[in-house]
Structure 1
Amino acid sequence: MPISLCRVCLIAFVVVVTGCTRMMFSPSDEWVETPDQLGYDYEEKLIRSENGQLISAWLLPQRQSQRNKPKGAVLFFHGKADNISTHLSNVNWLADEGYDVLMVDYRGFGRSHGQAGLSSSLVDIRYSTLWFLDKYSGATPKYLLGQDYGASMAGYVMATNERLLKPFSAVILDSGFGSYRNLSAEKLDDHWLTDLVKTPVLQTIPSEYDLIDYIENISPTPLLIVHGTEDTVVPYRYGEALFEQAKEPKQFLSYKGEHIAAYDDVKNRQVLLQFLNQHQHTQISQQ
């Protein structure tokens, strides 16, 4: 048996035995850069998740010194790889615009304890959301921003928990997808060798957490879907499908670019800022 085929069979065995959801994630415990290296103040936080599990987070306060209070607070969940340090450039600019930002690492990422996995990440999202809502319990507008897996996981958590969703003024889902199994099947189709393991691998991927089945429940909270037309990691049609399934009020930010690259363009930043400003009173009016 060729070596490459042996490796594929070994991977198939490991996946079937341990479960594929752990292998979805590629966490790192090394900081690439910290906010202070870029001139930002920040606080390292440890948030207690289920069973006392500690997950780490960075809190970046707004940088507009003339303001006593932030314009709003943004809760950020990144994708399946690395840790918050590699996703810093996606959100630090929000602090420049007057927003506090809480960046959260799921267990197994960065300084968070435990082992990465889909169901455990969903739990960590719930507990960190509760921490965030407790800290910003007043009238400060609150927004959720998820990217890649963070969009699909946090979107599911919000759509299936009205108590967590209601305090948010708006939800932004960037480069997300509706079905873990469908996305995984597409990745397995990229190489003929993976046809040997496709069926047993896909059987280990749960479908009960699929955002596509619940995204309509985010309404009436305003929703912004963001996706790049040149995204090869999560193809553009996945964003279109989420938008089609979602209910009003909703908005689609389509940009010409690659995966989670929207905010490299100042024009896209302005669209997001306008969306945040437009809906800053939504949660207050719903109470």
Structure 2
Amino acid sequence: MGFIKLTLVTFGVLYVAALSGMYVFQRDLQYFPSRHDPAPEAVGLTGVERVTLATPDGETLVLWYSPPAEGRPVILFLHGNAGAIADRADRFAFYQTRGYGVAFLSWRGYGGSTGRPTETGLLADAKTAYDHLRSLGFAADRIVLVGESLGTGPAVITAAQNPVGAVVLEAPYTAAVDVARRAYPWVPVGLLMKDQYRSRDHVALIQAPLLILHGEVDRVIPFGFGQRLYEAAKDPKTFLSLGPVGHEALFTSETWSKGADFIDGLYPR
């Protein structure tokens, strides 16, 4: 009995220590920013302005901006949890070929932007970029939000709280806490997780056409999360499977084309 008691006590101590470590360093497990901040021209882009934006809480954000062709909408792109906007220059160029205005926001703590990423901070960043586009004279119904992976949470919440023309979500989640709960079933993540991005609580408030794209064998954010978020949304909405592909499909022109085709259906050339 003494050995069993000692084993249980040891296990309990190790468990509490593991939980404490995960709680303290949880944002290091959630965000993987790159500070890479080249000029747009250095990664092969043309006609792109590097803009700096001030957030209400005193951070400075980098935004890459290219104006639209006449009559075309502007895409506000909200990227995922790893890398930097410079790593997505090929996507930026793709949107330019479709005639869209393009605004790639670098989250706080990423690629040239100050601060450290948090849910509150990223939501403030998305609103700051949205307000900047409005200040340039874009009507709300000409702004299309495109969210990639982690960026789908801020995209959903921003669109729920502000009028937009359309929303495209690539590999979205019902909530980041739901993904974490699946990854760490032995951790009470609902109690400990700071940045939960509960998209499921906001998606029904979106008053714009919505497209959800998801790969069927995505191991980072499984297919079922996108399906359940779609079920929680209101019409008009569309769900498109990307087929038997994983999270890497978010970085292919085939995926971007599906989103662009949806946008072109709403804004004919």
Q: Which residue of 1 aligns with 2:57?
A: 51
Report the equivalent of 2:90.
Answer: 89
What secondary structure does 1:16 align onto? helix
Deviations 1:143-173 (A, max 9, x none): 11011110112212221x1xx2x2x211111
**Which one scores higher on RCO, CA 8 angstroms, separation ≥ 6?**
1
- Partner residue in 2 for 1:120: 121
CA RMSD of aligned residues (A): 2.8
Cα deviations across residues 83-138 of structure 1 (Å, max 9, x unaligned)? 11123333420101111110001111110011111221111111111112222435
Alpha-carbon deviation of 1:209?
4.0
Q: Rg: which structure is higher? A: 2
Once the two structures are superposed, residues 25-47 of structure 1 have per-residue CA deviations (whole angstroms, 9 ceiling, x without a partner) of: 11110248845432433111111
1:176 corresponding residue in structure 2: 172
Matched, 1:148 2:155: no
* C-alpha contact 2:35 2:84 (8 A) present in aligned 1: yes
Separation in structure 1 between the aligned mates of residue 42 and residue 136 of structure 2, nearest angstrom: 22
Q: Distance in 1 between matches of 2:234 and 2:262?
A: 17
Residue ranges of structure 1 left out of the alignment (5+ in a row): 1-5, 190-194, 282-287
Matched with 1:273 is: 260
Work out whether residues 175 and 260 of structure 1, in 8 Å CA contact, stay in contact via their aligned partners in 2. no
Distance between the aligned counterparts of 1:137 and 1:265, measured in 2?
26
1:175 deviates by 0.8
Cα pair 2:37 2:112 within 8 Å, conserved? no
Q: Note the residue ranges of structure 2 that are not aligned, 5 or more in a row.
A: 1-12
After superposition, residues 9-158 of structure 1 pair within 5 angstroms as 12-17=19-24, 20-21=26-27, 23-31=29-37, 34-62=40-68, 69=70, 71-138=72-139, 141-158=142-159
Q: Is the 8 A contact 1:179 1:207 kept in 2?
A: no
Contact kept? 1:32, 1:86, Cα under 8 Å: no
- Counterpart secondary structure, 1:261: helix
CA contact (8 A) 1:70 1:98 kept: no
SS at match of 2:36: coil
Q: Could you tell me how far apart the structure 1 residues matched to 2:140 and 2:175 are? A: 35
**Residue 206 (structure 1) shift:** 4.7
Distance 2:140 2:201 in 1: 31
Aligned residues: 256
Asked if structure 1 preserves the Cα contact closer than 8 Å seen for 2:31 and 2:81, the reply is yes
Contact residue 106 and residue 113 of structure 2 kept, 8 A: yes
Q: CA separation of 1:116/1:24 partners in 2, compared to 1, >3 Å: closer, same or farther?
A: same
Asked whether 1:239 is paired with 2:246, we answer no
Distance in 2 separating the partners of 1:37 and 1:152: 28
**1:140–1:40 distance in 2 versus 1, CA, 3 Å:** farther
Are the equivalent residues in 1 in contact too, given 2:74–2:101 (CA < 8 A)? yes
With over 3 angstroms needed to count, the CA separation of the structure-2 counterparts of 1:17 and 1:138, relative to structure 1, is closer
- Letter aligned with residue 135 of structure 1: L
- Conserved in 2, the CA contact under 8 Å of 1:171 and 1:222? yes
Distance 1:264 1:207, change over 3 A: closer
The residue that corresponds to 1:258 in the other structure is 246
Once the two structures are TM-superposed, the CA of residue 61 in structure 1 deviates from its matched residue by 3.9
Residue 235 of structure 1: how far off its partner (Å): 0.6
TM-score scaled by structure 2? 0.84
- Separation in 2, partners of 1:260, 1:47: 30
The Cα of 1:207 is off from its aligned counterpart by 7.8
State how far apart, in whole Å, the 2-side matches of 1:116 and 1:93 are: 27
Distance in 2 of aligned mates of 1:23 and 1:35: 32
Aligned to 2:235: 248
